[in-house]
Structure 1
Amino acid sequence: MRRATPRQLGSVCQLCSTTPATTLGAGARRVSSRLDFPRQAASIRLSGARWMASAASPSNNTAASAVPARIVAPVVPATKGTRPIANPAQLASKAEQGLKAFVTAVRDGPNKQAAKSALESCLQYASTLHPQLRRANSAAKASASRLAMLGGERSGTTFDVDTDLGVASSKISQAAYSVISHPNVEMTPDMLELYVHTQAQLGRAETLPAVLEMYAHKAKPVVKDGGVVQYVAQNPDAAAKAVEKDVADLALQTAIDAKNLDAALGITEAAFCTKAFKRQKLIKRGTAPAMTLAAVPFGVLGLGTIYATHWQNTMDLTTATAIGVAGISGYVFVTGSLGIIAKLSHKSQMKRVTWLPGTPLRYRWMREEEREALDKIACAWGFKESWRHGEETGPEWEGLREYMGYRQMLREQSDGATEAIPDEQRPGPARGFRYVDGQAVVGLSWEDQTFYEAFSNDRRRKLRRKTDYRLLPTLCILYLCAQLDRGNIGNAKIEGLQKDTNMTGLHQWYPREHVAFRMSLFMAFAAASGTFSAGLRLAVPSIIKGLGFTKTRSQLIGSIPYISGVISSLLVTFVSGRTAKKWHIVAGCWGCIAMGFTIAIIVVNVAQNKAPGVVAGMSFVTSGVFPMAPISGSWASMNLGDSTRRAIGIGFIMGLGSLGGVTGSFIYRDSDSPYFHLGYGLSLGLAIVGLVITTVLALSYSVTNRKKRRTLESGIRGKHTEGGPAAVGTESPLFLYTL
């Protein structure tokens, strides 16, 4: 068996090795000037007379082990055949001597090579000192008590190490800062990477925020004619002045490992919150999609032309091209928009920090790196156990949470924290009664209540206005299109529409006092679809046609009641939302329906010209029918108690309502035209029955509420906790019916 030559072996322990792991000759490969350290090893190779030191890193807690794989570490030349300096005092002395030599070299003007060599020397000294610092820190932790060690890890307190090591680390760090901040040194990406990696090896993050900010603002030294050095101001917002993400991540990890919260937040602001970084990201990651989007119309036009020329022979080229372009454009832009929304709104990468609701998607995409950095900071300063997330306290954590709020972010509660707390141990049960804004709400979870109460009234109005202007119109138009042809929806559901599109149950974004008006808008567009489909879905066109009008005129006149219904729906539900009255409006709708059928019966039996009276009567009918659907639905949902009763009750109401279309085709027969005695009479009777039932139900609710109020006044309220009455639903003395 072959074995390695003993002289080629070296120590590989990171905590105690300062000797080279291999012996290189003068012909060793030369290393690039870009920093590229592997994740599990920090190495410095010599070229010709360059030294190499290696230190294996089994830990994931050091910034040196977290350096991106593409970063390469250059070093300064050393004398051939010499051994690396291991004495901290000698390293500090060498760093000071190198600094003096550098100052002498750049005294008369900028010297890039001298500055680069000085920073490479500091990096070599820092890399040599790094294993000793780790060994001393580990020894200090081993000698400290377990409790003190845990407290130091959480607060970032450093343990006492050898004085020589601390002095050497401080002098090397100061030497590197003096080099990078010298007026005659131009800040380049290479210089910045060298400096950041030097501080990462030393574990010092105090100067990193200032240096990252200096990278964008420092003036560039330029030698003019006559040897005069002029300092040219730089544009800090230029894309070229953006800090590379790999360098910023290394600096941030250094601050996190050092438990320096101020430095971590400063690095985040100096690296990810600048206009330069956002512009660079827009150029790098937005150019290709923008060019693709600009080319899409030409591609769509080409496909439409090909379709018109080769794939059809029934239309002329112009018409076929227009239809092809319209169809392809609709598919491409609709599906593309959904894809963009899905891409910009995904949050699987978010751990503890997410965006505030209402933050525009463009801001989320542009500031994702900033959120990612704050997420790392929150994970580093918070508890590592997911089930303890949300229990953090202390001034640093409170300040961090407040800072995230200023940046339009919030600390998200972990699923583990939510699942670990049983419902009976929370401030109230998940399905119990909760009082929000002075009203008892059923089925509101503790997290939803906390989130809602954190929103101010002004923010609620803004969010509601944004939903009204952006989401609701789109849903109304889509609902209008869906009502034009609803037959294929059932077939699509059978074929797997719900599974393919990952559809879930309905969601409600409005408080209950605002639901009725928005629901009426939704239902109004469904009513408007009857106008666009010529009103053939209901009996109104048959009634108009029976008066002697032609098909075209009957369709046109038949749209008048639908228009009246839409207007009435909007007005009535708006008044309902303002007055918070429900049963009065439902009873009024029944009365309006009864009045409309009464007018129709009188007109068809008495008047010579029946058309105006019948149209007026049908307008009264639709003015009562259309607003009744959202009002009665919201009234029922308020008074049915828990979610199970609401689901059954609303389903029962919708099922009975659907029978109207079936019944109408049998009671409004063509043989009864134009009098329709059976249809008018039965409809009038049902309207009167509905009015009576509504009145009786309202009186019953009123009597029940008075009994419950007397029960509460007698002292029962103190005997019922917030969670106790939830088990009995509407029978709870705390539950009052809405009138």
Structure 2
Amino acid sequence: MASNTEISDLDKTIVGHHEYCTDKELQNDPNRSDTLVTTPEATLESFADLDEKKILRKMDLRLIPMLAILYLLSFLDRGNIGNAKIEGLQEDLRMSPDEYNWCLTVFFFTYATFEVPSNLLLKKLRPSRWLPLIMVAILVAVIAFFVLYDFPETASFLTEKEREFIVFRLKYQGQQGKEHTQVAQAEEFEWKYVFEAFKDWQIWVNLFVYWGVVCPLYGISLFLPTIIRNLGYSASTAQLMTVPIYITAAILAVIFAFLSDKVGKRSPFVISFFLMMIVGFSITNPRVVYGGVFVVACAIYPAFPGVVTWLSNNLAGSYKRSAGMAIQIGVGNLGGAMASNFYRQGDSPQYILGHGLELGFISVGVIAAFILVIAYTSINKKRDRIIRDGGENQFTAKELSAKGDKAVTFRYMI
């Protein structure tokens, strides 16, 4: 069984392949045969002869399959308990409905406790070591130890020029404009970056967006088989009826992730999915409840990676990003602890209380998302004005690098 911190470490690793190490780290690590670094003189034009799409496809084919398998295995210990319930788990263990709900709740306590240190260890020990270590009971984790690549600098399937391009691309993410100085993100570990993550307003606002998705996510994943069973279907039929829901949701998640990257925006998709969830949870007529949860699931699963990626895109500096995403996912998954108590056996088959609580969290998530959009837009416009007035010249490149996403050269993704 995967550890409770594993799923969120995978969230961080899958989203964007954005972890890379500093030149100093490469030089000091005897296990890294490749000490490639990007020269300070490198510009985007230096890589004009490379096919960016081809490189990204190559990375996706090498990284995503194994990471997807690890993510699937790490989620099974939470998701399949809902399926086990309608097959007699609760009766066999002689648990009351309240005791069963508390069993679901305990999954999430360790998230908040271990998320930040786990993500920092992920950075220090490398993904290929840390992820298999905390999944040591699973055979595939042993395979992952040998096939996962840690950093662009050590990816043997890339050419030297391609590795240099990926390092350059990651160091300057969030600064796509050509009208101002390009500043590399700080990668040296300092505790101040961790503390800055705890003090950053956008992480805490984003946390409410995350709760708006994760409460419905766990409410559905833990109780979907029970909700369908209580509509009058047999256990085996209820299990089968969950399949088309998840298949459709998975397909939509891939499609909308592609579209979101294509347009370079997260909020329009995230907010649209929130509205879909509201429609689905508003359906309480027992005859169409299945249709309602179908709509909800098809909104939740595309929205979840969008919310995680949105924050990742807007945090600069590897260690601040690690800490920030750990706060988002760790504290955010306490929403799962709450959601595990939303659906009570006595409320079936309409589950008005459970759906009402989900609607409350979704509404808060929508409000928080709009706050982020307004704030990011305002900050970006202010920084554009500062750049036009030459305000960036009062800072050295090192100072701008240390500021990370607070630098005037950084632009937040809307």
TM-score by length of 1: 0.33
Q: Deviation of residue 674 (structure 1)?
A: 0.3
Match of 1:621 among 282, 296, 318: 296
Change (3 A) 1:506 1:626: farther
* Kept in 2: contact 1:546–1:673 (CA 8 A): yes
In structure 1, how many angstroms separate the alpha carbons of the residues matched to 2:220 and 2:390?
59
Equivalent residue for 2:196? none
Cα distance change of structure 1 residues 668 and 456 upon mapping to structure 2, 3 Å threshold: same
Preserved contact between residue 573 and residue 631 of structure 1 (Cα < 8 Å): yes
Q: 2:352 aligns with which of 677, 696, 708?
A: 677
Whether the aligned pair in 1 keeps the contact of 2:392 and 2:409 (CA below 8 Å) is yes
How many equivalent residue pairs? 270
Structure with more strand by fraction:
1
1:463 to 29, 32, 55: 55
AA at the equivalent of 1:703: S
Query: What's the counterpart of residue 587 of structure 1?
Result: 271
Contact in 2 for aligned 1:568/1:627 (Cα 8 Å): yes
Residues 474 and 448 of structure 1: is their aligned pair in 2 closer, same or farther, counting only changes over 3 Å? farther
Q: Is the aligned partner of 1:645 residue 2:289? A: no
Equivalences for residues 281-292 of structure 1 within 5 A: none
- Cα deviation, residue 569, structure 1: 0.4
In the aligned structure 1, how far is the partner of 2:402 from the partner of 2:298? 40
Q: 1:503 to 1:448 in 2, by over 3 A?
A: farther
- Distance in 2, Cα, partners of 1:560 & 1:456: 44
- Equivalent-residue separation in structure 2 for 1:503 and 1:470 (angstroms): 9
Q: CA contact under 8 A between 1:711 and 1:733: conserved in structure 2?
A: yes
1:518-546: per-residue Cα shift (whole Å, max 9, x none)? xxxxxxxxxxxxxxxxx995211111111
Aligned to 1:732: 407
Contact 1:593 1:687 in 2 (8 A): yes
Q: By how many angstroms is 1:663 displaced?
A: 2.6
- Superposed CA RMSD: 4.0
**Contact 1:642/1:729 (CA < 8 Å) preserved in 2?**
yes
Partner Cα distance (2:254, 2:381) in 1: 33
Alignment equivalent of 1:555, drawn from 239, 243, 255: 239
Q: Distance in 1 between matches of 2:321 and 2:302?
A: 20
Work out the CA distance in 2 between the residues paired with 1:480 and 1:590: 24
The change in CA–CA distance for 1:483 and 1:730 in structure 2 (over 3 A counts) is closer
Q: Distance in 2 between matches of 1:714 and 1:723?
A: 20
Shift of the 489–483 alpha-carbon distance from structure 1 to 2, 3 Å rule, reads: farther
Larger RCO, structure (CA 8 Å, separation 6 or more): 2
Match of 1:634 in 2: 309
Structure 2 vs 1, CA of residues 692 and 479 (structure 1 numbering), >3 Å: closer, same or farther? Answer: closer
Give how far 1:708 is off: 1.5
CA contact under 8 A between 2:280 and 2:294: conserved in structure 1? yes
Per the alignment, residue 709 of structure 1 pairs with 384
Amino acid at match of 1:670: Q
Shift of 1:588: 1.2
Q: Highest Rg: 1 or 2?
A: 1
SS state of the match for residue 675, structure 1?
A: coil
C-alpha distance in 1 between matches for 2:300 and 2:334: 14
Looking at structure 1, the residues matched to 261 and 333 of structure 2 have their Cα atoms a distance apart, in angstroms, of 26
Name stretches of at least 5 consecutive residues in structure 1 with no aligned partner: 1-413, 420-443, 515-534, 605-609
Determine the structure 2 residue equivalent to 1:540. 224
Q: CA shift at 1:619, angstroms?
A: 1.8
1:575 is matched with which residue? Answer: 259
Taking the aligned partners of 1:677 and 1:449, their CA distance within structure 2 comes to 61
- SS of residue matched to 2:390: helix
- Separation in structure 2 between the aligned mates of residue 665 and residue 584 of structure 1, nearest angstrom: 29
Whether the 8 Å contact between 1:638 and 1:737 is mirrored in structure 2 is: yes
**What is the CA–CA distance in structure 2 between the aligned matches of 1:454 and 1:594, rounded to whole Å?**
48
Aligned match of 2:374: 699
Q: Matched residues in 1 for 2:400 and 2:239: separation? A: 55
Name the % identity.
29
CA distance in 1, matches of 2:58, 2:145: 25
Please give the alpha-carbon distance, in whole angstroms, between the structure 2 residues aligned to 1:549 and 1:657: 34
User: Per the alignment, do residues 417 and 738 of structure 1 end up closer, same or farther by CA in structure 2, a change over 3 Å counting?
Assistant: closer
For the 8 Å contact 2:277–2:299, the answer to whether it is kept is yes
Q: For residues 662 and 447 of structure 1, what CA distance do their matches in structure 2 show?
A: 47
Distance 1:449 1:537 in 2: 50
1:450-485, CA deviations, whole angstroms, 9 ceiling, x for partnerless residues?
498654454433332333445433443454355445
Residue 136 of structure 2 is aligned to residue 492 of structure 1 = yes
1:689 paired with 2:281, answer: no
> Are the equivalent residues in 1 in contact too, given 2:220–2:297 (CA < 8 A)?
no
Q: Which residue of 2 aligns with 1:300?
A: none
- Given the superposition, is the C-alpha separation of residues 737 and 482 from structure 1 closer, same or farther in structure 2, using an over 3 Å criterion? closer
Partners of 1:652 and 1:503 lie apart in 2 by 29
Paired residues for 1:181-580 under 5 Å = 446-447=38-39, 450=42, 454-456=46-48, 458-484=50-76, 490=134, 492=136, 507=151, 538-580=222-264
Residues 485 and 669 of structure 1, relative CA distance in 2, 3 Å threshold: closer
1:561 and 1:619 in contact (8 A); partners too? yes
Match of 2:241, as an amino acid? Answer: I
Other-structure match for 1:271: none
Q: Does 1:654 align with 2:329?
A: yes
Q: CA deviation at 1:723?
A: 2.6
Q: Cα offset for 1:620?
A: 1.7
Deviations 1:62-89 (A, max 9, x none): xxxxxxxxxxxxxxxxxxxxxxxxxxxx
The change in CA–CA distance for 1:562 and 1:657 in structure 2 (over 3 A counts) is farther
The SS at the match of 1:585 is helix
- Say if 1:560 and 1:615, in contact at 8 Å, map to a contact too: no
Letter in 1 for 2:248: S
Partners of 1:449 and 1:559 lie apart in 2 by 53
TM-score (normalizing by structure 2): 0.56
State whether residues 538 and 661 of structure 1, in contact with CA within 8 Å, keep that contact through their aligned partners in structure 2.
no
Amino acid at match of 1:678: L
Q: CA deviation at 1:640?
A: 2.0
Partners in 2 of 1:623 and 1:635 — Cα distance? 19
2:12 corresponding residue in structure 1: none
User: Is the alpha carbon distance of 1:489 and 1:561 closer, same or farther for their aligned partners in structure 2, counting shifts above 3 Å?
Assistant: farther
Once the two structures are superposed, residues 28-73 of structure 1 have per-residue CA deviations (whole angstroms, 9 ceiling, x without a partner) of xxxxxxxxxxxxxxxxxxxxxxxxxxxxxxxxxxxxxxxxxxxxxx
* Aligned equivalents of 1:614, 1:639: Cα separation in 2: 37
Quick check: 2:245–2:297 contact (8 Å CA) kept in 1?
A: yes
> Is the CA contact 1:546–1:670 (under 8 Å) kept in the aligned structure 2?
no
CA distance in 1, matches of 2:150, 2:278: 33
- CA gap 1:415/1:633 in 2 versus in 1, 3 angstroms: closer
| CA pair 473-504 structure 1, distance change in 2 beyond 3 A | closer
Per-residue CA deviation, residues 3-52 of structure 1 (Å, 9 max, x unaligned), is xxxxxxxxxxxxxxxxxxxxxxxxxxxxxxxxxxxxxxxxxxxxxxxxxx
CA distance in structure 2 between the aligned counterparts of 1:416 and 1:484, rounded to whole angstroms: 35
